[in-house]
Amino acid sequence: MQKYKLEFILHTYNTSIEAIKNSLVEFGNSLEISDSEKSAEKGDNFQIKLSTEDPTLVFDICSQFGRIRSAKINDEGN
């Protein structure tokens, strides 16, 4: 199966890193979530990196928390 390396910014309101991590942990591996630079907008920006077999599912889950920005998808398959 192909795997994809995702990198994106998730802009949220009143959401913790733990809540995001708990929602994504079973859908990928090498999950990294960190605070991203503050923007002029209210809310928080989180930098998210993970490898997954289903990028669409990951983006669907994250869209429930907020807006996805600056998404990069790299195919790690053969």
pLDDT digits (tens, 9 = 90+) for 21-59: 999 999 988 999 998 876 667 889 999 999 999 999 999
Number of folded domains that form the chain: 1
pLDDT tens, residue by residue, 9-29: 999 998 999 999 999 999 988
Q: Are 76 and 4 in contact (CB under 8 A)?
A: yes
Q: By C-alpha distance, which of 10, 4, 2, 6 is closest to 68?
A: 10
Structure tokens at 29: 């591996």
Domain with 56 in it: what CATH number? Answer: 3.30.70.3100
Report the alpha-carbon distance of residue 72 to residue 78 in Å, rounded: 18
Range of the domain at 33: 4-75
